[in-house]
């Protein structure tokens, strides 16, 4: 399940994609139009800026804008950045793997099924970009 933080990140990013030709967008405008709490949004946008997906400009005419071409930003990258693992269990995660304490991966039906779920989800999320979030 996507966290509220991830949902807000995608809402903000979709707004920035829609407004990408209008220059930097004020954080207050994004928060108002997408109904995102301002303080929460500030933290999300800073995280996306640190990951070099966004950039910002200070002063008059300032705000946030996409640093990367939205056609090149995969949805999987945003989820991993903001939400963490895509996999439903740590033992099937590609980037956040952890062995389960009480599981034998060689003989675990749940592990095997969730690898298939992970692969199907990744197939979709790696083929979709920020451009797919807008009409």
CA distance readout (Å), 14 to 75, 87, 90, 123: 11, 24, 29, 21
Q: Tell me the mean pLDDT in the region 86-92.
A: 86
CB atoms within 10 A of CB 128: 14
Task: For the domain made up of 1-134, give the CATH fold.
Answer: Arc Repressor Mutant, subunit A (1.10.10)
Alpha helices in the chain (DSSP H): 4-18, 27-34, 38-50, 75-82, 109-125
- Which long-range contacts link 91-97 to residues 24+ away (Cβ below 8 Å)? 92/118, 93/118, 94/118, 94/122
Is residue 104 predicted with pLDDT exceeding 80? no
pLDDT band at 123 (very low <50, low <70, confident <90, very high): very high
pLDDT score recorded for residue 1: 78
Is residue 67 predicted with pLDDT exceeding 80? yes
d(CA 98, CA 19): 40
d(CA 10, CA 39): 16
pLDDT band at 89 (very low <50, low <70, confident <90, very high): confident
pLDDT score recorded for residue 103: 74
For helices 4-18 and 27-34, give the axis angle rounded to 10 degrees: 110
pLDDT score recorded for residue 124: 96
Q: pTM of the entire structure?
A: 0.87
Domains of the chain, by residue range, sit at 1-134
pLDDT digits (tens, 9 = 90+) for 16-47: 999 999 999 999 999 999 999 999 999 999 99
Is residue 90 predicted with pLDDT exceeding 90? no
CB atoms within 10 A of CB 125: 17
């Amino acid at each position: 399940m996507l966290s509220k933080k991830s949902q807000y990140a995608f809402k903000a990013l979709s707004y920035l994609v829609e407004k990408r030709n209008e220059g930097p967008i004020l954080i207050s405008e994004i928060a108002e139009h997408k109904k995102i709490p301002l303080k929460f949004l500030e933290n999300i946008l800073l995280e996306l800026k640190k990951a070099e997906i966004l950039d910002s400009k200070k002063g008059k005419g300032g705000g946030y804008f996409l640093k990367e071409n939205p056609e090149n930003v995969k949805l999987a990258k945003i989820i991993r950045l903001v939400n963490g693992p895509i996999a439903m269990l740590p033992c099937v995660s590609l980037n956040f793997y952890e062995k389960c304490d009480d599981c034998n991966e060689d003989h675990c039906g749940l592990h095997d099924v969730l690898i298939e779920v992970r692969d199907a989800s990744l197939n979709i999320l790696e083929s979709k970009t920020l451009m797919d979030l807008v009409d």
